[in-house]
Chains A and B, each alone.
Chain A
Amino acid sequence: MIVIDTANHISALAAKMARARVIAAYPITPQTTVVEKLAEYVESGELDAEFIRVESEHSAMTACIAAEAMGVRTFTATASHGLLLMHEMLHWAGLARLPIVMVNVNRAIGPGWNIWSDANDSMAQRDTGWLHFYCSSNQEVYDSIIMAYKIAESQEVMLPAMICYDGFILSHTSMPVEVPEQSKIDEFLPEFKPAWKIDVENPITHGNIVEPHYYAQIRYDMQVAMERAKKIIEEVGEEWGKKFGRDYGLVQEYKCEDADYVILTMASMAAEAKVAVDELRNKGEKVGLVNLRTHRPMPFERLKYDKIIVIERAVSFGLGGIVYNELKGRVPELYGFIAGIGGMDVSYRDIERMYELAKEGKDGWYPIEVK
C-alpha cells in the first residue's frame, strides 16, 4: 500500500505497526504531530498501547525505561530542547541495555529561538550508548524505525536506538511511502524478548551500587555490543531488502565505484547530494556519494575512500565538524564543510559549489567562511 504522508505521521504509523505497547511522549515542535497521531491511534483503539502523558521529556524517557524494564516494547519521540532534557536518562537507557526506540526530529537549539533543522541536538547525544540512524526520506523513516526495533532488540546488541530526521524538511513534508501489510511486518519483527526484566515472580534489583571493576566491564560490554551492532545492522538491512525490496546497511553508496571524490553527508542533505552527484557526473566529474545512515556505531570499515568531502549540519565548538574530526587521520585527503546550520537551506547547487571548493583545496563554514 502506498501512503502519502509526512515523516511525522509515518513515524507514528511505524511505531504502531511495530506494536509498541507503551508510548510516553511530550510534544515539542517539530515532533508534535508524531505524538498527536499516536494519541489518536490509542484513543481510537487502533493501537493497543498504554499512552502515558508526562510533564517533561525527562519523564517521558524515564517512563519508557521503566516500561521497557518490565519487558515491554516502547516508543517515544522528541526534538531539540526535549532531547537535551532527556540527556541523563539516555545514558540510563544505554547502561541498562534497554532497546527503546525513539524518533528525534532534528531541530536547532536556542537561543536565538529556532525551530528549523540542525543536527546538533542528536550529535550532542552521540556518547550516550544509543544507536544513531539518520534518514533522508519518509520511506527511510518508516523502514528505519521497524528495522531499529529488530537491531536494538537483537540479543547481540541490546542497546536503545534513535532515528533522526530533519525538522520540517521531512517532518512536515508529505511523500509517498510504501507500507507493507501488518502480517509481513509481524513476520519480520517478532515479539520482544527482553534480556532481563523486572518480574515479581523472579525478583531482581537493577541499578544497585557496583564496584569500579564491574562498572568498567559494563561499559566495555556496551562498546563490544556497538561493534557487534555493525554486523546486525547490515544483516537486518539485507533481510529488509529481500522482503521489501529496499536494501539498507550502515551506509548507502551512490556512484562510488569509480569516484575520485566521495561526498559524505547524512539525513536530507544526502537526498540533495544525490542530485548534485548526478549534475556533476553530467559535467564529467567522477564523484560519488556516501549517505552516512548510521552514526553510532561509526562504520569506519565502510568509509575507505582516498578523498572524502564531509558536509554536516552540526559543530563541536573548539573542534569543528564532528563527523569530519571523527574521520581525520583515517582518510588520506579529507575536506570538511559545516553547512545548513539553523535550517539554512542547502540545495544541490550549494553541494556542487562545496565540491568545487574542495577541489581547490578549500573547506570550512559554508557559506560564512571557506578557505
Chain B
Amino acid sequence: MKTAISYPTEGAMGKTGTWRVFRPSIDIGKCIKCWRCWIFCPDAAISKGEYPVIDYEYCKGCGICANECPVNAIEMGREEK
C-alpha cells in the first residue's frame, strides 16, 4: 500500500540555516528561562541548555523567538556571510 508517509529525521530538508537573512542572538543576561522561544520555534532549532541554545545549522531566521520573548532578550541582526 502506497501513500504519502514520511518519517521525521534531523535535516530531512537539508541545511535550512543557509536560508537565513536575519540571525537571532540571545542576551543571556536578560533571559528569564521561560522557554517560550523553545516552544514556539517552528523548526525545533532551539534546544534546552542552561539557557536556550540556537542551532544555526537549521535556524531559518524567521524571528518568531524574538517576537515571543517577553523580555526582549533575543535580537535579530542582519546575517553577515
Binding site for B on A (CB under 8 A): 95-97, 155, 158, 195-196, 203-208, 210, 214, 217-218, 221, 225
Contacts and interface: CB of A to CB of B under 8 A. Distances in A.
Contact of B3 (A155, A203, A218): A218
Contact of A203 (B1, B2, B8): B8
Contact of B2 (A155, A207, A208, A218): A218
B8 A205 contact: yes
B6 A205 contact: yes
A97 B3 contact: yes
B4 to A, nearest CB: 5
A205 B3 contact: no
A214 B6 CA distance: 12
Nearest to A203: B8
Across the A-B interface, the 3 shortest Cβ-Cβ residue pairs: A221-B2, A205-B6, A195-B1
A207 B4 contact: yes
Interface of B: 1-8
A56 to B, nearest CB: 25
Contacts of B7: 203-205
B7 to A, nearest CB: 6
19 contacts: A95-B3, A95-B4, A97-B3, A155-B1, A204-B8, A205-B5, A205-B7, A205-B8, A206-B3, A206-B6, A207-B4, A208-B4, A208-B6, A214-B4, A217-B2, A218-B2, A218-B4, A221-B1, A225-B1
A203 B1 CA distance: 19
A214 B4 CA distance: 9
Nearest to B2: A221
Contact of A97 (B1, B6, B8): B1
Contacts of A203: 7-8
Contacts of B5: 196, 204-206
B4 A210 contact: yes
B79 to A, nearest CB: 26
Nearest to A94: B3
Contacts of B2: 97, 217-218, 221
A214 B2 CA distance: 9
Contacts of B3: 95-97, 195-196, 206, 218
Nearest to A96: B3
Contacts of B6: 204-206, 208
A95 B2 CA distance: 9
Contacts of A207: 4
Contacts of B1: 97, 155, 158, 195-196, 221, 225
Contacts of B8: 203-205
Given A95-B3, A97-B2, A204-B8, 7 more contacts: A204-B6, A204-B7, A206-B4, A206-B6, A207-B4, A208-B6, A210-B4
Nearest to A196: B5
A217 B6 CA distance: 15
A218 B5 CA distance: 11
A97 B1 CA distance: 8
A309 B70 CA distance: 75
A196 B6 CA distance: 11
Nearest to B7: A204
Contacts of A210: 4
Contacts of A214: 4
A203 B7 CA distance: 7
A158 B2 CA distance: 10
Nearest to A225: B1
A130 to B, nearest CB: 15
